[in-house]
Structure 1
Amino acid sequence: MAFQPLGRTKNIARRSKKYLEEALFHRLFKEGTSEVSVRQNLNQFLKSSKRVYKWEVGDTLRKLRERGLYYPALKLSQAMTERGMNKTVSDQAIHLDLLAKARGIAAAESYFVNLPETSKNHLTYGALLNCYCKELMTEEAEDLLEKMKELNLELTSMPYNSLMTLYTKMGQPENVPTLIQEMKSAQISPDSYTYNVWIRALAAMNDISGVERVVEEMKKFGRVTADWTTYSNLASIYADAGMPEKVEQALKELEKINACKDLSAYHFLITLYGRTGNLLEVYRVWRSLRLAFPKTGNISYLNMIQTLVKLKDLPGAEKCFREWESGNPNYDIRIANALIGAYTKEGKLEKAEDLKEQARRRGAKPNAKTWEIFSEYYMQNGQIKSAVECIANAVSIGRGDGKKWVPPPETVRTLMGHFEREKDVDGAEEFVEILKKAVDEVGAEVFESLIRTYAAAGRTSPVMRRRLKMENVEITEATKKLLDVICVE
């Protein structure tokens, strides 16, 4: 495989036979967008002798990043260098971001340090700062921004946006207005993202009047036009504040702005009208979405069914599900899960089981979420053995992104509490073994409950001290006294 750095034509049909006959991203996604299939197709492409233009690589990297496929994106980015394609500083900034996502922040830092000085500008500094913010590394992000100021680098709203987002995530929204004032003093114009994170920060401080002043500022100065994201944020803020009339006003503004028929805007409208309990508006927007997007995708059906379920319109959710099922060959377990969850909450276990099996027959195997839904039902109905079996299935399958699925802490506490009350040592030990497959450290809380279960049952465990040492678990003084009782030879 070779890259072609020159030539600007984007007419794939007219290119020479030495180039790919189809767009690179089509080649990578021809068997779906799962990471396994994309990696396999990328490996085949890299082994081939086909060439590809740089603009095409950049377009493919963008699509891979949008889908969260960071490992294949990083490999493709590395191949750009290995095959002699000249990287711009923008390309290097993207590579740095991919390293952080695929290999961790230390790899990104090492790459940045080894960049030539000519490449250390606002783009690469900004990329590293954004990585720090994603990893919630406040001190490092703040220090790097100060360094950028000292170097008199060209500053835009982007590094400030990253830092403001970090403060919001860290529960420090009061720091956001200070950054806004700093931007204005430095004559750095806020962009749409800046205004949106600003109003979210003010909302987090319960300053609704401040939120409205910011929106008025946007309208007054006109440098940045309030977009549909602004009004979806505003509607969500009003919903959280219990102001349904203002929610609907913001949603009407959102609909006016959504002239370009953005799919995400429709999703927000459906969700937010759902939050106000306005079922008629939910159905009206759904009809508008179907007209704008006749080939309605799975994500739209999922959003609609979840909203109807929350509004307790189960017949409507079932009708929407049947419509999706009859017209979509790609069975999506997430959509089935939305209805399965509704059935279990209504106590309709048989319907939930039937739908799970129906999905399986259509090629959509139960995922971790499916088993989590059933485990919650069984726990609520005191069927602990069945709940544990479901949790074991969820742990075995793992999450869709390849990471481990971990049962919620409250679920763990509830089950361990049950075993403790029932003096069920064997059940507790079985559950601990399941947990060990999901987490690196089971933790002191679980082991302390296990020790109390042994003591309550009058059972002994000569190896318990050794287990605690191997797990590096520190227990309370009260539990140590119980340990003396159960750890007898």
Structure 2
Amino acid sequence: MRELGLLLKPSPYNSMISLYGSLGNRDSTFWLYGTTGNRDKVDKILQEMNENNVELDSVTVNKVLRVYASVSDIEAMDKFLAGFEANATLELCTTLDMARAYLEKKLKGKAREMLRKAEEFKDPESYEKLLRLYGEAGKVKDVFRIWDIYKETRKVDNRAFRTLIGSLLNLDDINRAEEIYYKELESAGLEFDVLTATMLASGYREKGMVDKADKLMYKTMRIRELDIPITLMLEDWGKNGNQVKPSDLRDLIKNLTDSNQFSKALEVSTWMFKNKVLTLFPEDYATRLHLIEKKFGLVEAEKFLKTSIPENMKNYSVYATLLTLYTRSEATLKKAESTFVKMRYFGFLSKLSPFNKMISLYSELGRRIQVENLLKEMKENNIEPDSVTINNLLRVYACVSAIESMEKYKSERDDEVKNLKLEVKTMNAIAEAYEKEGLMLKAIEITASKKEVYRLWNEYKKDNKEKMRSNKEGYLSVVRSLLRLDDVKGAEEMYEEWEPEGLEVDYRIPSLLMSRYCEEVDNEVKAEKVVESCRRKRRMMEFREIFNCVAASSIVLALPPALTWIFLGEGIWGWLGSLLLFGWLVG
């Protein structure tokens, strides 16, 4: 056409721009490799149109803008639009593509402006895209405004609900997503859609709401339609215009696995492998390896590793999964060590997880030297320990009663690791080590069991019978430990049992109770009782001290024998005499 001199109108140029634009379509395979080459060809076409004095029409402007949007070239897109906006009318698909391009560059304000223009077309077919894009643009009110329009103009289906819930999850609004699912979707009378349930379950897990996610997935698998094999349901996904996305399948497998429905998860994984519905990655093989072990045992998992996983797929995720399987028992210790050596050889020990798995196994076996060697290797590889590592090492030290090393390591890690949290079995192991060494108060303060606190306290009292009721360090430890374990009543009873002795009251013990009461609501009465109790204990302590001083002083020695008998004697007369003497001395 160029050779024949037929390129005098925008139509042929538009056809070529349209072709290059379609090659750069987001959903095409070519999109994975970029569209820079085709975009350059579009620029050459625009240059030729300019040289031939061919004016751009509205079709040209829209096609060029979509090409620029497809490669997220915001600068070129804005500049081109500014030059032709007055003479061209933007099409619906152009506004949506431009909005998506703005969102990819985090320009949410510009994206919302373009979405407003898209709304002006009032096209019911665009509402799902608007729901999704407004969800990315960060405004819940816009999402619900479109949702209300959607419901007025067309019949709502599962895909629409899925889009809405996905947008709400993207906006971090798990509560409204939950409300839409349980109140609107379940009462809409639609055929059950496992994709939407999986999506909400994933949202729960991201928020740490594991129980809700598990309950939803259990409920999903109990629904009547799913009494049939799950593979039949998967085959139905592709019908009625639905598209099976890789992320949908992987999310379903993960949620089924996380809720311990390993058989169902393995069904999905088997179907995914057999039908080749997506490009498989090492992580998919690692997941399948884990599920086979859960369903059929370690021997079958090893067979799958040897016969079905290609060598180029045996990366870190596969070996890390295999190591997890081997570090569960002493019976597979040799295999675990062999796998760890292979991971070192392949350069897969740049993360903390493999070290933690081996340290965990060694700690259960009390292998202190091996654990310390692994810590040394971690240090050489600049891998910092986390709470899991620290708990494991502390249990090793406790197992071999290395008290000094245990306390030194814990003290150092308390300063280095923020929010260090000791596991229950770690605290109990440390308490057991302290008890073996006769350090009963330290054992009381660290144990995670109320039952153990009382048992250790009784043992401690047997060994410290003299002046036990005035043992302030002992009562301080037991009260503090009971409060830590939320046994407030027990702490109160211990406090009442304690009797201060000496010249000064140790206010640390009542202060523990006072601090706890301050954390609670409407506990002013209890706090006042502790204050009054503390005053009473102090008066009794002072009385005993003064009485002891008077008993040994020259005042009493100078008294006539009859009066001495009254003040120091036993029975009612001695008690009354003591009170009178105390009142006389302090009053």
Q: Which residue of 2 aligns with 1:273?
A: 292
CA contact (8 A) 2:249 2:268 kept: no
- TM superposition shift of 1:305: 0.9
> Aligned partners of 1:249, 1:265: CA distance in 2, in Å?
13
Q: Which amino acid aligns with 2:444?
A: H
Conservation of the 8 A alpha-carbon contact between 1:425 and 1:457:
no
* Map of 2:354 onto structure 1: 335
- Tell me the CA shift for residue 325 of structure 1: 0.5
Instruction: Please name the residue that 2:164 is paired with.
Output: 159
Q: Which amino acid aligns with 1:152?
A: Y
Give CA deviations for 1:60-79 in whole Å, capped at 9, x if unaligned. xxxxxxxxxxxxxxxxx9xx
Higher alpha-carbon deviation: 163-172 or 321-330 = 163-172
Distance 2:397 2:493 in 1: 22
Amino acid across the alignment from 2:384? K
> What SS does the corresponding residue of 1:152 show, helix, strand or coil?
helix
Q: Give runs of aligned pairs for residues 410-429 of structure 1, distance below 5 A.
A: 410=424, 418-419=444-445, 421=453
Aligned runs of 1:166-181 on 2, under 5 Å? 175=181, 179=185
The Cα shift of 1:354 comes to 1.8
Task: List alignment gaps of at least 5 residues for structure 1.
Answer: 1-6, 15-52, 59-76, 99-107, 133-139, 399-403, 432-442
Contact (CA 8 Å) 1:89, 1:124: kept in 2 or not? no
- The one-letter code of the counterpart of 1:194 is T
**Is it true that 1:211 corresponds to 2:226 in the alignment?**
yes
Structure number having the greater helix percentage: 2
Q: Is the 8 A contact 1:379 1:387 kept in 2?
A: yes
Deviations 1:84-134 (A, max 9, x none): 9999422555677x9xxxxxxxxx9x99999984488866764675899xx
Higher relative contact order (CA 8 A, sep 6+): 1
Q: 2:356–2:388: 8 Å Cα contact kept in structure 1?
A: yes
Q: Is the contact made by 1:279 and 1:311 (CA closer than 8 Å) also made in structure 2?
A: no
Name the residue aligned to 1:468. 515
Check conservation: 1:251, 1:269, Cα contact below 8 A. Answer: yes
Larger Rg, first or second structure (1 or 2) = 2
| Separation in structure 2 between the aligned mates of residue 308 and residue 292 of structure 1, nearest angstrom | 20
**How big is the shift at 1:340?**
0.7
CA distance 1:239–1:88, change in 2 (3 Å): closer
Residue 341 (structure 2) pairs with residue 322 (structure 1): yes
- Cα separation, 1, equivalents of 2:301 and 2:179: 32
Q: Deviation of residue 363 (structure 1)?
A: 3.0
Report the alpha carbon displacement of residue 158 of structure 1 after superposing the two structures with TM: 2.2
Any conservation in 2 of the 1:227–1:257 contact (CA below 8 Å)?
no
Change (3 A) 1:232 1:474: closer
| 1:293 aligned to which of 312, 316, 324 | 312
Contact persistence 2:360–2:392 (CA under 8 A): yes
Q: What is the match of residue 407 of structure 1?
A: 421
Residues 25-77 of structure 1: CA distance to partner in whole angstroms, max 9, x if unpaired?
xxxxxxxxxxxxxxxxxxxxxxxxxxxx987879xxxxxxxxxxxxxxxxxx9
Q: CA 1:248 to 1:412, structure 2 compared with 1: closer, same or farther past 3 Å?
A: closer
Contact 2:147 2:164 in 1 (8 A): no
Give the equivalent residue in structure 2 for 1:194.
196
**Paired residues of 2:480 and 2:512 also in contact (CA < 8 A):** no
CA distance in 2: counterparts of 1:209 and 1:130, whole angstroms: 35
CA distance in structure 2 between the partners assigned to 1:325 and 1:85 by the alignment: 54
Measure the CA separation in 2 of the matches of 1:486 and 1:366: 45
In the alignment, which residue of structure 2 is the partner of 1:150? 148
Match of 1:351 among 370, 382, 392: 370
Question: In structure 2, do the counterparts of structure 1 residues 411 and 232 end up closer, same or farther at CA, with 3 Å as the change threshold?
Answer: same
Amino acid at match of 2:36: K
Contact persistence 1:174–1:205 (CA under 8 A): no
Give the whole-Å Cα distance in 1 for the aligned partners of 2:443 and 2:180. 40
- 1:321 Cα offset (Å): 0.6
Deviates more, 1:280-289 or 1:219-228: 219-228
Q: Is 1:303 aligned to 2:332, yes or no? A: no
- Separation in 2, partners of 1:468, 1:114: 54
Tell whether the 8 Å contact from 1:54 to 1:85 is kept in structure 2 after alignment.
Answer: no
* CA displacement, residues 314-349 of structure 1 (integer Å, 9 cap, x when unaligned): 221111110011221763222111111111122323
How far has the Cα of 1:180 moved from its partner?
6.1
* Matched residue type, 1:308: Y
Deviation at 1:150, TM superposition (A): 1.9
Residue 248 of structure 1: how far off its partner (Å): 5.8
Secondary structure at 1:276 match in 2: helix
Mapping 1:66-85, distance limit 5 Å: none
The aligned counterpart of 2:303 is: 284
How far apart are 1:231 and its partner, in Å?
8.4
Match in the other structure for 1:260: 279
Q: Distance in 1 between matches of 2:344 and 2:285?
A: 21
Distance 1:95 1:463 in 2: 59
The 1:54/1:240 distance shift into structure 2, 3 A limit, reads closer
Q: Aligned partners of 2:269 and 2:494: how far apart in 1?
A: 57
| SS of equivalent residue, structure 1 residue 261 | coil
Specify which of 75, 86, 90 is matched with residue 100 of structure 2. 90
Structure 1 Cα separation of the partners of residues 421 and 262 of structure 2: 35
User: Which residue identity lines up with residue 10 of structure 1 in the other structure?
Assistant: T
Q: Contact 1:336–1:355 (CA<8 Å) still a contact in 2?
A: yes
Three-state SS of the structure 2 residue aligned to 1:365 is coil
Distance 2:219 2:260 in 1: 10
Q: What is the CA deviation profile of residues 443-463 of structure 1, one whole-angstrom value per residue up to 9, with x for unaligned ones?
A: 986796997799469653299
Cα distance 1:204–1:315, how it changes in 2: closer, same or farther (>3 A)? farther
Residues 132 and 164, structure 2, Cα contact 8 Å, conserved in 1: yes
Name the residue aligned to 1:222. Answer: 238
Between the aligned partners of 1:479 and 1:325, the Cα distance in structure 2 is 59
SS of the equivalent of 2:361 reads helix
Q: Is the 8 A contact 1:301 1:324 kept in 2?
A: yes
Number of residue pairs matched? 383
Residue identity opposite 1:304 in structure 2 = L
For each residue in 1:174-215, what CA deviation from the matched residue of structure 2 results, as whole angstroms up to 9, or x when unmatched? Answer: 955962674949xxx96x843744897352466165434565
**CA–CA distance in 1 between the matches of 2:182 and 2:531?**
50
User: Which ranges of structure 2 fall in alignment gaps of 5 or more residues?
Assistant: 1-23, 25-33, 41-67, 82-96, 120-126, 202-213, 432-441, 447-452, 458-472, 501-505, 539-587
User: Which of these residues, 36, 42, 56, is aligned with residue 10 of structure 1?
Assistant: 36
The alpha-carbon distance between structure 1 residues 345 and 480, as it changes in their structure 2 partners (threshold 3 A), is: farther
- SS of residue in 2 equivalent to 1:364: coil
Relative to the length of structure 2, the TM-score reads 0.47
AA in 2 matched with 1:357: K
Tell me the distance in 2 between the aligned counterparts of 1:289 and 1:307. Answer: 18
Aligned partner of 1:374 among 383, 386, 393: 393
Kept in 1: contact 2:99–2:111 (CA 8 A): no
Aligned residue identity for 1:148: I
Structure 1 pair 218–206 and aligned structure 2 pair: CA distance change class (3 A):
closer
How far apart are the structure 1 equivalents of 2:113 and 2:474? 58
* Counterpart-to-counterpart distance in 1, 2:510 and 2:113: 51
Residue 393 (structure 1) shift: 4.9
